Chain A
Amino acid sequence: MCNCNCEGPKSDLSKLDSVLSEYGDSSSNLITILQKAQNIYGYLPKDVIYYISEKLGVTPADIMGVATFYSQFRLTPIGKYLIMSCQGTACHVNGSERVLSAMKEYLGIESGETTADGLFTLEEVACLGCCSLAPVIMINGEAYGNLTPDSAVEVLKNIRQKEGK
């Protein structure tokens, strides 16, 4: 049962029960639980946070504190394709900023935002560890390296075409 009284879509909280029965015995597992919850829902919906709070005995404020501290956690839904634009040092010296601005311009969104059609979410990340392929972006786990502003936009265009949008 969720007591958050929030408006908006209700999440199917039963999906979380197996996670909570495995990790719910200790508040030290909070980060693991939030990671699993995000895997299930794609982000951390408000009612999910309240549900975890209730089951784990940690206040919603503390959970929000953790969820906003770590860059991995998202409080809003993401698009079908999550673009992680690497801004590590090696990518930086190889022009990642120009790649990022070209993608922003093409998608018409800023970092951390999702396109209106729900297809793409653009995120900046610290380092994907593929430094020798810099500049790199990763889309839903697949890495694209040695990019130029044009070739990065080309990758996005191909996805859009595949999706028929």
Chain B
Amino acid sequence: MRIVIGEGSCGIAAGAGKVHKAIEALMTSDDSFTLGSTGCVGMCFLEPIVDLYEGKTLVKRLVKVNENDAEAIVTAVRNNDLSLVEKLVISAEDEEFLSKQTRIALRHCGIIDPVSLDDYREADGYEALEKVLKTMTPEQVIEEIKISGLAGRGGAGFPTWFKWNAARQSQSDVKYLICNADEGDPGAFMDRAVIESDPHSLIEGMLIGAYAIGASEMIVYVRAEYPLAITHLEIAIEQAKKANLLGKNILGTSFSCDMHIKAGAGAFVCGEETALIESLEGKRGMPRLKPPFPAQKGYMDEPSNINNVETFANVAWIMNNGGEAFAAMGTENSKGTKVFALTGKIRKGGLVEIPMGKTLRDVIYGIGGGIRDGKEFKAVQMGGPSGGCIPKDLLDTVIDYKALAATGAIMGSGGMVVMDESTCMVGMAKFFLDFTALESCGKCVHCRIGTQRMQEILTRIVKGEGKQGDIELLEELCVAVKDGALCGLGQTAPNPVLTTIRYFRNEYEAHINDKKCPAKECAELLTYSIDADKCKGCTLCAKKCPAKAISGQVKSAHIINPEICIRCGQCVNSCRFGAINVE
């Protein structure tokens, strides 16, 4: 038997490393079972996860394991008595989180050992590359991708074959294939999961792309905040070099290609391809004017093609199974599957890969299990700072580039942040404008100044200082920033504001006209008071209050002095009798 521990970043953060050490410490040289690790299973809400395998078959999946369970696990495996770990076994309901998915980009995640080339090869790894290099022309590869309908998974959804073809057509001795792994959307982490859990599938997808466009050098631009992804990719690149999968005359063919990694340094705008190229060249990441497009003049002024991690992760599968098999999934204008990072106030958060054409409800309720703590669903944020908030009555929107764009949000890179009744939508718009105003590179006046003015207005509104005409002024600024910005960051920065005004205008009006926050989130607009009938005089809130705003005698009702109260909410959290009212 094999014990395999899910050790992606999320798993480690949840304590998987400690579980690994604890099990390792209990093992002796007499034990016949082995201990290994895998990447991200994608069921973040159940981490740390320990899988028990017999050969290639998953026998039991143990969830929410901690280091104190190590002894039971080792004893159970040693004595072949799995009833000892029965209480850790995943429930049938939770198993559906995975069984309802269709995994292509994530096909190896949480199954293979990310840093084992043998594991990857046993799972059909590098077969697609061999087939492509030995039996197909670059044109045939591009044609297959065209049939598949694969579109850019980083956000824009541009047809992949079209970009590859444009780069193929450019005449030059030197061409570059670049992978955008600068996953900057706060709330998306599928690219990290793919690189951490299945780095060879990225290398294989990129090699097929490099062959198609005629590139001799590949660069992965990856966020520096993803140290584990960088480490795993470095190991995979070294393994591929030794196995003649990178370098000169790959697999004995005339195709040669090198690969290296460049770590980003933290700038959201570098997700925009021309800004990314500037950054690769060691400069400030400020977008360039297009045309010339990167396919003509990109990195080092040579023809370059840039795709996102998830896009590349689909390529080998398409070559193995055929473009038609990929295109058989999805809707008319969106083919294949898409990975979503399901987070926020969701019961079951994690990575969800489903065929296009499913509805938001299928993902949030069908797989994610709905809202946590019995609260009401309010909205789902898609596309991060470039996207928007989709309200409850649009939950049956199908997942499709066009249908999502019609809501005012975007498919984006796949961040899906679920919000309940306690999330203020004006606060949400402000949150994203705080972000874009900070991340605006400053090149275009409309983006640089426009986002700042919008941020100021939103700050005013959440503080209860909103004025009549603020909503209209915001709308006017949104149009100006959209029209006046050069790159995607500025052009889409107004989306969070526009969608929240469109669907939650009443919340804006409540803040401005009535000085009230319906979600009870904006501290400046709240009043805290104690219900004298419910208060038992236990003094706990008074002890907790950092401002010393609560007074009263033991066993008699307390009162809050609104002049001193800083509205931090600590009293609400500490009260065991529900005696504190927030208005």
Instruction: List chain A positions with a Cβ less than 8 A from chain B.
Output: 26-32, 34-35, 65-66, 69-73, 87-90, 92-94, 98, 101, 105, 125-134, 136, 141, 143-145, 148-149
The residue on B at minimum CB distance from A33 is B282
Q: Is the CB of B186 within 8 A of A127?
A: yes
A148 to B186, CA, bound (A): 20
- Residues on A with C-beta less than 8 A from B415 are 89
Across-interface contacts of B435 in A (CB, < 8 A): 126
B227 lies within 8 A of A72 (CB): no
Give Cα A126–Cα B189 distance, bound, in whole angstroms: 12
**Do residues B283 and A66 form an inter-chain contact, with CB atoms below 8 A?**
yes
Q: A70-B267, A143-B12, A143-B13 are in contact. Are A87 and B186 (CB under 8 A)?
A: yes
Please tell me if the beta carbons of A131 and B13 are within 8 angstroms of each other in the complex: no
Q: Is B226 an interface residue (CB 8 A)?
A: yes
Determine if B471 is an interface residue (Cβ-Cβ < 8 Å). Answer: no
Cβ–Cβ < 8 Å partners of A143 in chain B: 9, 12-13
Beta-carbon contact of A28 and B281 below 8 Å: yes
- Interface contact A72-B266, CB-CB below 8 Å: yes
Q: Are B417 and A32 in contact (CB under 8 A)?
A: no
> Which residues from chain B contact A94 at a C-beta distance below 8 Å?
344-345
Hey, what's the 0/1 contact readout for B275-318 against A, CB within 8 Å counting as 1? 00001111111000000000000001000000000000000000
The verdict on B202 contacting chain A, using a C-beta distance below 8 Å, is no
Contact A133 B263 (CB under 8 A): no
How big is the B interface, by class?
35 or more
Are B267 and A35 within 8 A (Cβ)?
A: no
Residues of B within 8 A of A69 (CB): 267, 284-285, 441
CB-based contact A71/B266 at 8 Å:
yes
The answer to whether A28 and B344 have CB atoms under 8 Å apart is no
- Residue B528 CB within 8 A of the other chain: no
Are B282 and A66 neighbours in the complex by a CB distance under 8 Å? yes
**With A66-B284, A133-B14 as contacts: A31 and B225 at CB distance below 8 Å:** no
Contact of B282 among A30, A72, A125, A149 (CB under 8 A): A30
Shortest beta-carbon distance from B275 to chain A in Å: 10
Contact of B280 among A28, A92, A105, A134 (CB under 8 A): A28
**Given contacts A133-B13, A133-B14, A143-B12, are A89 and B267 in contact (CB under 8 A)?**
no
CA–CA, A92 to B441, complex, Å? 23
Q: Shortest beta-carbon distance, A6 to chain B, in Å?
A: 23
- CA gap between A98 and B523 in the complex, in Å: 11
Q: Contacts A89-B431, A129-B189 hold; do A32 and B263 have CB atoms under 8 A apart? A: yes
For chain B, residues 240 to 282, give those with C-beta under 8 angstroms from any C-beta of chain A: 262-268, 279-282
Q: Tell whether B364 is near chain A: CB-to-CB under 8 Å.
A: no
Inside 8 A of A125's CB, which chain B residues have their CB?
Answer: 225, 266
Which of B281, B431, B570 is A92 in contact with, Cβ under 8 Å? B431
User: Which B residue's beta carbon lies closest to that of A58?
Assistant: B282
Residue of A nearest to B434 (CB): A87
**In this complex, what residue of B is CB-closest to A90?**
B343
Contacting A at CB under 8 A, from B182-198, are 183-189, 192
Given A90-B417, A130-B13, A134-B343, also A70-B265 (CB < 8 A): yes
A130 to B227, CA, bound (A): 13
Give min CB distance, B383 to chain A, whole Å.
11
> Nearest Cβ distance between residue A53 and chain B, in whole angstroms?
13
Q: Which residues of B contact A34 (CB under 8 A)?
A: 265
Which of chain B's residues 455-505 have a Cβ closer than 8 Å to chain A? none
User: Would A89 and B262 count as touching, CB distance under 8 A?
Assistant: no
CB closest residue in chain B, given A65: B284
Can you identify 10 A-B contacts, CB atoms within 8 angstroms? A28-B280, A28-B281, A28-B282, A34-B265, A98-B569, A127-B185, A129-B225, A131-B189, A133-B44, A149-B570
Q: Which residue of B lies closest to A133 (CB)?
A: B13
B265 & A71 in contact (Cβ 8 Å cutoff): yes
Which A-chain residue is minimally distant from B285 (CB atoms)?
A69
Distance in angstroms between the alpha carbons of A112 and B463 in the assembled complex: 24
State how many angstroms separate the Cβ of A19 from the closest Cβ of chain B.
14
Instruction: Looking at the assembled complex, report how far the CB atom of A35 sits from the nearest CB atom of chain B, in whole angstroms.
Output: 6
Question: B568 to A98, Cβ gap below 8 A?
Answer: yes
Given contacts A71-B266, A90-B417, A126-B268, contact A132 B349 (CB under 8 A): yes
Specify the chain B residue showing the minimal Cβ separation from A88.
Answer: B186
Residues of B within 8 A of A127 (CB): 184-189, 225
Could you tell me the distance between the alpha carbons of A94 and B47 in the complex, rounded to whole angstroms?
A: 18
Instruction: Check if A93 sits within 8 Å of B266, measured CB to CB.
Output: no
Q: A127-B225, A132-B44, A145-B14 are in contact. List 20 more A-B contacts (CB 8 A).
A: A28-B280, A65-B284, A66-B284, A69-B441, A71-B267, A72-B266, A73-B265, A89-B186, A89-B384, A90-B417, A101-B568, A126-B186, A127-B185, A131-B187, A131-B341, A133-B44, A133-B47, A136-B13, A141-B227, A145-B13
B355 within 8 A of A: no
| Beta-carbon contacts under 8 Å, B509-548 to A | 546
